[in-house]
């Protein structure tokens, strides 16, 4: 499978024009032949980096995209020596990348049919979010909160309950982290997947 040939640029309404998002198939059939663990993560990481490089060359011009993982696992990127915001996400059948010259980013995607147990949903929602349960699917809530955690770089070390999903305006949401920082979220459905992008 060639990532470059299958890349699709997506431009959801509400996302600033200086944030670019690309989606590509993840090779689900091939993924199933590789046992879960380091080997599969290495393959997913390689595919994500290839997709990021393709998106960067298309949107930023000719040059070299250098990506490195910080100690917390969050990717950091430079394009021709200038820092760019980047986030990479994958699930068994899809890879997503977001890049921006101006914004710090967090991206998450999940299959819309993936189930979130009610007990898990109870653990990730906080009292201020009682209405969000009726307006969003559980997996959409998960992707919104996971995108924020990827933006912060803390991952699941920060309880999802510490993130509040506040205002809603399709497709934009506003979130607040326990430290008072507010972020924008663009969330949308693409090919039976929920995709959420956190940006400042």
Residues 76 and 17 in one domain: yes
62, 128: one domain: no
Per-residue confidence (pLDDT) for residue 150, from 0 to 100: 94
Looking at the fold, whether 11 and 88 belong to one and the same domain comes out as yes
> Among the listed ranges 29-33, 97-101, 151-155, 194-198, which one has the minimum average pLDDT value?
29-33
Query: Does 84 lie in the same domain as 37?
Result: yes
Count of the separate structural domains present in the chain: 2
| 81, 105, 129 - which closes a domain | 105
H and E: helices and strands count for the chain:
6, 11
Average pLDDT rounded to a whole number, residues 125-147: 91
Contacts of 87 (CB under 8 A, 6+ apart): 75, 97, 98, 105, 106, 107, 147, 150, 151, 197
The answer to whether 196 and 147 have CB atoms below 8 angstroms apart is yes
Q: Strands of 82-91's sheet, edge to edge? A: 8-10, 19-25, 94-100, 82-91, 75-79, 65-69
Q: Are residues 71 and 117 in the same domain?
A: no
Distance CA 180, CA 193 (A): 29
State which of 75, 105, 135 marks the end of a domain: 105
Instruction: Assess whether 13 and 61 both reside in one domain.
Output: yes
- Find the helix or strand (DSSP H, E) in which 87 lies: strand 82-91
Q: Is the pLDDT of residue 152 over 70?
A: yes
Q: Are residues 44 and 66 in the same domain?
A: yes
Q: Which tokens hold the place of 129?
A: 């979010």
Instruction: Record the pTM.
Output: 0.90
Instruction: Judge if 8 and 92 occupy the same domain.
Output: yes
Other beta carbons within 10 angstroms of residue 121's beta carbon come to 15
Reported as a pLDDT band with limits 50, 70 and 90, residue 1 is very low
Q: Which of 54, 79, 105 is the last residue of a domain?
A: 105
* Residues 76-97, mean pLDDT to the nearest whole number: 94
Q: Which of left, alpha, beta for 155 (phi over 0: left; psi -120 to 50: alpha)?
A: left
Q: Which residue has the higher pLDDT, 94 or 3?
A: 94
| Same domain as 85, residue 7 | yes
Q: What is the CATH number of the domain that holds 142?
A: 3.90.470.20
Whether 96 has a pLDDT exceeding 90, the answer reads yes
**Do 90 and 124 fall within a single domain?**
no
Q: Give the Cα-Cα-Cα angle 125, 144, 78 (nearest 5 degrees).
A: 140
Q: Are residues 193 and 179 in the same domain?
A: yes
My answer on whether 135 and 179 are in the same domain is: yes
Q: Is the pLDDT of residue 34 over 80?
A: no
What is the DSSP secondary structure assignment for residue 154, as one 8-state letter?
-
Structural domain harbouring 153: 110-199
């Amino acid at each position: 499978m060639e990532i470059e040939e299958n890349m699709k640029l997506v431009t959801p309404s509400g996302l600033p024009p200086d944030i670019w998002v690309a989606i590509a198939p993840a090779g689900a059939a091939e993924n199933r032949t590789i046992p879960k663990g380091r080997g599969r993560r290495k393959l997913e990481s390689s595919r994500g980096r290839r997709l990021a490089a393709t998106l960067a060359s298309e949107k930023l011009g000719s040059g070299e995209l250098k990506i490195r993982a910080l100690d917390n696992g969050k990717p950091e990127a430079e394009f021709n020596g200038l820092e760019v915001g980047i986030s990479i996400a994958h699930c068994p059948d899809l890879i997503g990348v977001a890049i921006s010259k101006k914004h710090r980013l967090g991206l998450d995607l999940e299959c819309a049919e993936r189930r979130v147990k009610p007990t898990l949903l109870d653990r990730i929602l906080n009292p201020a979010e009682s209405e969000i349960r009726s307006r969003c699917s559980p997996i959409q809530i998960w992707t919104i909160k996971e995108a924020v955690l990827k933006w912060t770089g803390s991952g699941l070390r920060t309880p999802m309950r510490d993130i509040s999903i506040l205002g809603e305006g399709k497709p934009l949401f506003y979130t607040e982290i326990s430290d008072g920082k507010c972020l924008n979220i663009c969330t949308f459905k693409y090919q039976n997947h929920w995709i959420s992008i956190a940006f400042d």
